[in-house]
Amino acid sequence: MTEELQEITLTVNGRRHVLAVQPRRLLVDVLRDDLGLPGTHIGCEHGVCGTCTVLLDDASVRACITLAVQADGRSVRTVEGLADGMRLHPLQEEFWDKQGLQCGYCTPGMLMRAVEILEQVPDPTPDQVREGIASNLCRCTGYQYIVEAVLAAAPRMRSENPWDPTVPTEAKA
């Protein structure tokens, strides 16, 4: 039942990878197992919960129902691409500050969806954020502090210097 391997090129978080994959392999498995990027998680495996959300050419997709070969020649952004070295992305900082996460499992997908929302609507209303993140399930938080975090990150992402000097870097945490 082994299928022939197919060569694909994926640009993941700005880095180009040439890979040989079975056509049936899912994008999420290739990201996690072949590229060693475990941040994209698997939740429902039916494309419902959004846990596996990544950005494919700047639009969110469900990596658990996307074949890796469908991403051939395209660019993928995952949670691993958000932080700038020691500095967390403003969305990551605000999720931390507002406690927009509890178990952390939906968080990478939620963050990537939030990136997409703020790229499309840089100054969203609370209702727009709520409706926007309704694509992704979170079982822990009840969403309230996720909404707060996204709203707090929005003006920072629009500003010249988005960093919050009060947020410690990873080394401190």
Partner 1 sequence: MTTTARPPAPPVRSHPENRKWVGKSIRRVEDPKFLRGRGGYIADLVRPGTLHAAVLRSPHAHARIVSIDTDAAAALDGVYAVVTGAQAAELTEPLPDFGPDPAKHTWRCLAVDKVRYVGEGVAVVVADDRYLAEDALALIDVDYDPLPPVVDPERALDAGAPLVHEALGSNLAYERTFDFGDVDADFAAADLVVRDRLRWHRSGGQPLETVGAIADFDPSTGQLTAHTNSLSFTSYLFMVANTLRIPANKLDIHQVPAGGSFGSKLFVTKPLVLAAMCSRLVGRPVVYLEDRVDNISNCDHHGSDRVYDVRLAVTRDGRIRGIDIDTVDDYGAYIQFGVGHHGNALAQVTGPYTIDSVRYRVRAALTNKNQQGAYRGFGSEVNNWMLEQMVDKAARELGMDPVQIRRRNFIRPDQFPYFIPTGNVYDSGNYDAVLDQALEIGEYDRWRAEQTQAREEGRYLGVGLIAAQERSVFSATEFWFWFDEPGAPVTSMPESVTLNVDATGGITATLYSCAFWGNSPETMVAQLVAEEFDCDPHDVSIIYHGSQGGLPATGPGGSRTTVMLAGAVEGASAKIKRKARRAASELMEVDPDDLEWFDGGYQVRGVPEQRKTLGDIAIALHLFKHSFPEDVESGLEESQVFDHPYTTMPSADRKDLGVFYPFMGHACHVPVVEVDIATGEVRILAYAAVHDCGTLVNPRSLAGHIVGGTAQGIGTALYEEFVYDDTGQLITSSFLDYSIPTAMEVPHLRIGHVETPSPYTPHGIKGGGEGGRMMAPAALNAAVNDALAPLGVRVTELPMTPDRLRAAIRAAGVVTGGR
The residues that touch partner 1, with contacts defined as CB under 8 A, are: 1-2, 22, 24-25, 32, 37-46, 48-49, 51, 78-80, 82-83, 88, 92, 95-99, 101-108, 111, 130-131, 133-147, 167-168, 170, 172-173
Q: Nearest approach, Cβ of 141 to partner 1 (angstroms)?
A: 5
Nearest to 66 by CA among 14, 119, 23, 17: 23
Tokens representing 23 are 């056509």
Give the CB-side neighbour count of residue 109, counting CA atoms within 13 A: 25
To the nearest whole angstrom, how small is the minimum distance from the Cβ of residue 102 to partner 1?
4
Cα–chain-centroid distance for residue 95?
13
Complex with partner 1: residue 79 or 154, whichever CB lies closer: 79
**Closer Cβ to partner 1, 73 or 116, answer by number:** 116
Name the residue nearer to partner 1 (CB basis): 126 or 155.
Answer: 126
d(CA 79, CA 109): 8
Q: Which is nearer to partner 1, 59 or 103 (CB)?
A: 103
Residue among 88, 86, 142 at smallest CA distance from 115: 88
